[in-house]
Amino acid sequence: MRKYQDMVFTTSARLVKNDAQAEDISQEVFIKAHEHFEMLSTSPSAGGWLKTVATNLSLNHLQRYRNRWRFFSELGGKSDSEGGETPEVDFAAPDTFFEGVDAEERRVWVDEALARLPDHQRVPLVLYHFEDLPYDQIAARLGVSLAKVKTDILRARAALAKILSRGGESAPALSL
């Protein structure tokens, strides 16, 4: 448990955006791990199993307790389905942006920026970039179309870049 507790909590916290809920989910993960202790105690893939369970329980939590997501088609905005091309966002930060910043401070900045994204953007972005899931698996898990997943990730990247470029009290501005 001690070996994987940070990874399990971080996985849940990034998805549900609430530390208290992430703690509850983490407890559920380790209860399930205890139930499967014989299998996990000798398995070299125990960490992957725990991360998958944390991801699944977090998604279940979001689906159970969140307000319905508003789809872009419901908002009346332009989307790819209307024939409009959404421009690609250049999300890469300049090499000098994180110069002199340690990994922990960088993680805090990214986590704070992620927490400011709406669920419908944050969740697919986290699943894609932090959980390394392909678009089609994200769409299947969330019960949305592949196009919606791609659009949400693209818009989340743009929003995240905008949040980081504005900076904050604790983060320097990022010029893109």
Query: Any alpha helices (H) in the chain, and if so which ranges?
Result: 5-16, 19-35, 37-41, 46-65, 72-75, 103-115, 119-129, 135-142, 146-166
Give the list of residues 6+ apart from residue 49 with CB closer than 8 angstroms, or none.
Answer: 33, 36, 40, 43
**For 22-26, which contacts have Cβ atoms below 8 Å and span 24 or more sequence positions?**
22/58, 25/54, 25/57, 25/58, 25/61, 26/54
Q: Where is average pLDDT lowest: 63-67, 121-125, 170-174?
A: 170-174
Provide DSSP, 75-100.
HT---GGGTPPPPPP--PPPTTTTTT
Domains of the chain, residue spans? 5-65, 74-166
The fold adopted by the segment(s) 74-166 is Arc Repressor Mutant, subunit A (1.10.10)
pLDDT, tens only, 83-142: 444 444 444 444 445 555 566 777 788 888 888 999 899 999 988 888 888 899 999 989
- pTM of the prediction? 0.54
